[in-house]
Structure 1
């Protein structure tokens, strides 16, 4: 479908905007791509793109993205095959999604950006950094998913079932339509690609400042002792923090806290809790690479 026909479709099916960000369409490699963007980006503002998780659209990332949209030129796309964007004839795997992210940024005229991902969006960002290291300024990996801890599929389903009651009930209104649209065959194929992706190897190869944010109540992740053991394999770039009271979909459930952490990280400020947060929301730094940018204290 051409950009013209995509716009015609939008005019004929008006819907109430789901975000304070501007809702837009473009066409990338012949596929209609739906995205949200800062409505009035500040000239020269740093670019930040938010990458969604498995089977979902970018809609559940909006609570955090909206809080950062005035400070950063913000993009929240639905990658091809997800959400309101069109599907490709071939099924996308993690490298394909990383290349699709790069092609979307090409289409928007973005040469360099910081990327914020949740769940499957984290391996996509790691793969993006592997192929396009000169195009990524910083990475924020929230609740990374994939790898051995989520295998086999029945184990991952069990982890997701335990996570569901830990998320806000309103998350279902966002997630269920996205999962239904994504479909069972796509879920099975992409799950195999996700669990086979070498996330740890690629993460340790990255040489950009990287913030990893984990939820204390996230059943899709191993315990903090294992995470610290993994993170300690690099002394260069990784900063790992634990958010008390959070589960997997932190971008949706704890947007104020996550936006606060991202601001501190982007400006190399010390990672501290906001005193205005509820008592159950506290941040604990569990790993800092020796060569991670030193916090500014002024």
Structure 2
């Protein structure tokens, strides 16, 4: 069973879905970061695949899902700072940050701006391809991907769109298109794993190979038959890639429930 947690971070309240052992003393969980317009709900298959094996938490950024919509950052750097504040508040660091789509851009900036919080990065379907830029082109590619995903992912994304603050969704899209992950990755000093779905129309093989060549300590994995939502359609494959990367120790004390409010309900 997964649990849901609400954490007060400054003047914001951030929501997360977590495995039952995500607050295990001395072992920070993997932290999963969603893409634009999606919530932690689309990480549920991966969280369930990890539950009981590797502690993991999928956090929702401001204006997304059940997180408050107060003071939504307008750029990726601002979103990265919010995530860093959450990691410090929950004392879940140093850890492995796992991003999907725009989440890759956010975790990359956390690694650069707050390197002490990050052991390594996992980038699943990293956007935005500089060779295929532009709102309408990205929208067309996302539509093409819908025909390559499981119906359960499409249903989740459609529901998530109703749970996302409209102002937040617009700010996230603009932030993603302005951010240049290809210019930021060379500044990353932590190990990086890039994961691409073989059938992902948004993230091509030449693009991930270009990103791979920008980073000094990097590994590239391609998941056969997967689309952009590799973690949802092939959760056990992705879990197998993540399990060896889970943090095994921390100098922090057990955070217990002091940092937030926890609802031990099915997520």
TM over 0.5: yes
Are residues 91 and 100 of structure 1, via their aligned partners in 2, closer, same or farther at CA, if it must alter by over 3 Å? Answer: closer
The residue aligned with 2:264 is none
**Comparing both chains, which one has the higher relative contact order based on Cα–Cα distances under 8 Å and sequence gaps of 6 or more?**
2
Would the aligned equivalents of 1:150 and 1:195 in 2 still touch at CA under 8 Å?
A: no
Deviations 1:96-147 (A, max 9, x none): 1111111111221223111111111100000000111111011111001124
Structure 1 length normalisation: TM-score?
0.76
- 169, 183, 186: which is aligned to 1:204? 186
The residue aligned with 2:86 is 104
Are residues 106 and 46 of structure 1, via their aligned partners in 2, closer, same or farther at CA, if it must alter by over 3 Å? Answer: closer
DSSP 3-state at the match of 1:208: coil
Distance (whole Å) between structure 2 residues aligned to residue 194 and residue 115 of structure 1: 18
| Match status 1:228 vs 2:209 | yes
Distance (whole Å) between structure 1 residues aligned to residue 63 and residue 97 of structure 2: 20
Structure 2 length normalisation: TM-score?
0.85
The residue aligned with 1:250 is 230
| Match status 1:259 vs 2:242 | no
Write the mapping of 1:116-127 to structure 2, written as runs, cut at 5 A: 116-127=98-109
Are residues 132 and 67 of structure 1, via their aligned partners in 2, closer, same or farther at CA, if it must alter by over 3 Å? Answer: same
Would the aligned equivalents of 1:149 and 1:221 in 2 still touch at CA under 8 Å?
A: no
RMSD: 2.0
The residue aligned with 1:25 is 6
Please list every run of 5 or more consecutive structure 1 residues that lacks an aligned counterpart in the other structure: 1-19, 268-298
Write the mapping of 1:22-171 to structure 2, written as runs, cut at 5 A: 22-41=3-22, 42-171=24-153
Deviations 1:236-273 (A, max 9, x none): 21111111100001111110111111224559xxxxxx
Please list every run of 5 or more consecutive structure 2 residues that lacks an aligned counterpart in the other structure: 248-267
Aligned length: 246
Distance (whole Å) between structure 1 residues aligned to residue 32 and residue 157 of structure 2: 17
Are residues 26 and 155 of structure 1, via their aligned partners in 2, closer, same or farther at CA, if it must alter by over 3 Å? Answer: same
Distance (whole Å) between structure 2 residues aligned to residue 109 and residue 46 of structure 1: 8
Deviations 1:137-182 (A, max 9, x none): 1111100112424421110110011001111011122111211332
Which structure has the bigger radius of gyration? 1
Would the aligned equivalents of 1:49 and 1:75 in 2 still touch at CA under 8 Å?
A: yes
Distance (whole Å) between structure 1 residues aligned to residue 167 and residue 5 of structure 2: 28
Would the aligned equivalents of 2:104 and 2:124 in 1 still touch at CA under 8 Å?
A: yes
DSSP 3-state at the match of 2:44: helix
Distance (whole Å) between structure 2 residues aligned to residue 34 and residue 109 of structure 1: 16
Distance (whole Å) between structure 1 residues aligned to residue 15 and residue 246 of structure 2: 27
Which is worse superposed, 140-149 or 127-136? 140-149
- What's the CA shift for 1:39? 1.9
Would the aligned equivalents of 1:64 and 1:258 in 2 still touch at CA under 8 Å?
A: yes
Runs of 4 or more above 6 Å deviation:
none
